[in-house]
Amino acid sequence: MYIPKLTDFDPFSLERLLQTCFDLPSDPVKCCVLIDLDDPTLVIGKKFLDLEGLDVQKRAVSHFYEPLGGDIGKKLNISSCDLFSFKTTGGSNLDPENELFDVSGNTLTFTEDICPNYDLILAITDYSLTAPLTAMAKKFNFRGATLHGVNEIILNSGLSIDYLKVSRQAELFRGVLDRADFFDLSFDCLGENYKLRIDCSQQSAQKSHGICPAGTPDVANLPAGEVYFVPSSASGSFPFRFSDGTLAEMTVNDGAIISAKLIRGDSNLVTQRNIQLNEDPATGIIGELGFGTQLLPFSGCDIQDEKILGTCHVATGRSDHLGGNLTPDLFNSRQNASHDDILYAPPKTPEILVTSVEIHKNGETHKILEDFVPTPYLLNLLSSEYPVDLIADVVPA
């Protein structure tokens, strides 16, 4: 894979990021920063800053809240910036509780105090808030961004790039994949082969490109740079890596995981997954197929690493924020109504190799990724927006 170094990027500039992504208007903008804490009252007096850990929440203060309340905020015509905390959801894209707290100790709610009263909402959290915040934005007519898991690598690479260029590259990539019939993903895990077919039924490919135009309520997932589909169906099987390294084969039928089988590791994890699939089948529905479009270093956080060119990911669970129809009310348990990305990338899944991804479109089949590397076929189509070094490394002269 072609992986740039941190020295290839300009220093992080909050002013450049927000102005590019949101094209902020000349009228004053009211902004707030949201963080998640196990005990949300620790935001009162910013007491959480004195605790060990909580690096993401501390960066939310030092790199976003404080600058937006100071000179950078004035340059961006931000009239005010407030800090609020809500209780950690404990899962990706789960709906948060309605209650929040501010630094003065006031108790507020998303529905009455936050969503109707802010023009720009930035969620800088441990767990993704993209799905619920997107739903709130469309209901209450604000714009925002989710930046869960932000670390120093992300600040100085994925958030330090030109998002106009990100948008152009994502659109070029989107055009290549648009109206695909289906994709075949082939895997190797510990010497065994698996194949997953994901049907897209000639739907319009979508892009996450970081640009939220004025007048359109929406939420950007930053860093951005991704092309994705909400599958119409899926079948086959694929290897899955649990966080402790346990490996399992997930069998897919009619668009959903129906069972898990241990490959190596802790059988209890596989048993629990099968119980969950039986009790709440919606947790197995394949809700997304995504492809990274950006040249970025690996950060150790999926929010950036799934955006890297050569990686791909599938996701299970809710898909309403992506234009799908799987909403939280269709799950048997509120705690299961998550959207969980399954990212395949060398540092994330060292035992699993995506040997190839093939696109089937217009009666033709083309390989677009091979061993986490974009193929010459794909790069030739993308060459107008990608650096000569990348093309030279992969495409023969």
Three-state DSSP at 373 gives strand
Q: Is residue 102 part of a domain?
A: yes
Same domain for 177 and 316, yes or no, is yes
Query: Cis omega before residue 28 (within 30°)?
Result: no
- Which of 104, 120, 155 is where one domain is finished? 155
Same domain for 227 and 278, yes or no, is yes
For residue 395, pLDDT over 60 is answered with no
Using the structure block, give the residue that is written with the tokens 């069998």: 251
User: Could you list the residue range(s) of the whole structural domain that residue 91 is in?
Assistant: 6-155
Q: How far apart are CA 392 and CA 162, in angstroms?
A: 23
pLDDT tens per residue across span 179-204: 999 999 999 999 999 999 999 999 99
- Which of 116, 136, 155 is where one domain is finished? 155
Report whether 388 contacts 382 (CB < 8 A): no
For residue 397, pLDDT over 50 is answered with no
Token readout for 300 is 């150790």
Same domain for 255 and 141, yes or no, is no
**How confident is the model at residue 369, as a pLDDT?**
97
Q: Is residue 1 part of a domain?
A: no
Residue 389: CB atoms within 10 Å: 11
Same domain for 113 and 179, yes or no, is no
Q: Is residue 147 part of a domain?
A: yes
| DSSP one-letter string for 325-362 | S--GGGSSSGGG--EEEEEE-TTT-TTEEEEEEEEEET
Q: Is residue 259 part of a domain?
A: yes
pLDDT tens per residue across span 203-252: 999 999 999 998 899 999 999 999 999 999 999 999 999 999 999 999 99
Same domain for 68 and 198, yes or no, is no
The total domain count for the chain is: 2
